[in-house]
Amino acid sequence: MSTFPPVLRPLGFALLLSGHALATAAATPPPEPAVGRPVRVVSLSFKSATLERVAAIVDAEGAKGADLVVLPEAWRGNDVLETLSGPTISALSALARTHHCYVVCPIYRQAGAHRLNSSVLVDRTGAAAAVYDKVYPYWNEFDLVPPALPGQGDVQVYDADFGRIGFATCYDAKFPEVFQRLRDRGAEIVVWASAYSGFTELQAFALLHHYYIVTSTLTGDSIAYDITGALLSDERGPGDVTVSRITLDMDRMIYHYNFNLEKRALLLAAHPADVAVDVEMPREEWFVLKARRPGVSARGLGREYGLEELRAYQDRSRVGVDARRGFSFSQAYGGYPGQTSPGGGRPTVRGGAAASGTVEAPAP
């Protein structure tokens, strides 16, 4: 029988639980310090599942320590049209808040007389922190009632506490400009929610732009690609929902051989226990550095020794070569069919390109 008076019994019970929790915590050794900057990602892929079923899985994975849970494109179905305060985002927001994790939940979102195919990022507090509206809906989405409206804004890249998350959806994979913009805006991991698998076309984007890509699909398979383009994970579960778990080290960084090899040698000689070459790619002339022990940042030591990351090297080279050319190649000749170049058109050639090769830059 309880020794607490009736009014204090709830408080006393809570104190007993608290004391038990403290004793358990004292008896349990602390977790090992992390090496690098690990992010625990869980991708759920399935042909169909109820909100209750998905919420139960997110609840379980959040309790296990997931940092980021991602769900497939418009997984509630074509007939479910909601706002950010609707039941789907509300349910997953509560779970994100409870387990202090991020959740990417794609929905068909109400937009006046139209719908938007939206990937909603719920942050660790349960707030809808970012919304990406699919730039390139597939053709049959225009036949839905109400019809889909193509995204009107830029790609979204969100600064999470572990790195920069970008978003793309399904048919976007057919349009390289979407993935170039994600690279330009500094995405470190791209979440691709889809109705189909994507596979090698996504691998090409990971290879070219040096970010991780994680998929969540309505086909039942979940795939992850490395910053080198290598296939990290390709899973299709035996049941109704594939639960794919992968840990990504956001501290790993990719470099070109150019202007870096001597600096790398100095870094590795001075810090053999701290940093290692994780991947050597001699044909591409790239390499990846990773930390070897807790408390060390391979990126930080790379900067300390003057190593230039591959993206930064590409950007600097583009600007430097354009300066010698006298105009921006990307602005003059870049872009895709149907686009007007930002620089106002292609340069004109005086006397013919074959005659002198003298080129006038587009007017500013």
Give tens-digit pLDDT for 198-236: 999 999 999 999 999 999 999 999 999 999 999 999 999
Contacts 24+ apart (CB under 8 A), 113-117: 113/146, 114/146, 114/147, 114/148, 114/149, 115/81, 115/144, 115/146, 115/147, 115/148, 115/149, 116/148, 116/149, 116/151, 117/73, 117/74, 117/141, 117/148, 117/151, 117/169, 117/170
More confident residue, 159 or 333: 159
What value does the mean pLDDT take over residues 119-123?
Answer: 98
d(CA 69, CA 71): 7
Cβ-proximal residues to 312 (8 Å cutoff; 6+ apart), any chain: none
**What is the DSSP code string of 58-94?**
HHHHHHTT-SEEE--TTTT-TT-EE-TTSHHHHHHHH
Reported confidence tier of residue 255, pLDDT bands at 50, 70, 90: very high
Q: Of 294, 298, 296, 293, whose CA–CA distance to 264 is shortest?
A: 298
Report whether 225 contacts 213 (CB < 8 A): yes
Helix (H) or strand (E) holding 226: none
CA distances from 70 to 4, 54, 106, 256, 313 (A): 46, 11, 9, 32, 32
Q: Of 251, 266, 356, whose CA–CA distance to 307 is shortest?
A: 266
d(CA 57, CA 239): 13
- Min mean pLDDT across 39-53, 62-76, 146-160, 229-243 is at 229-243
Reported confidence tier of residue 349, pLDDT bands at 50, 70, 90: very low
Quick check: bond before 146 cis, omega within 30?
yes
- Can you name the residues that pair with 43 across neighbouring β-strands? 70, 244
* Prediction pTM value: 0.86
* Domain spanning 38-249: CATH 3.60.110.10: yes
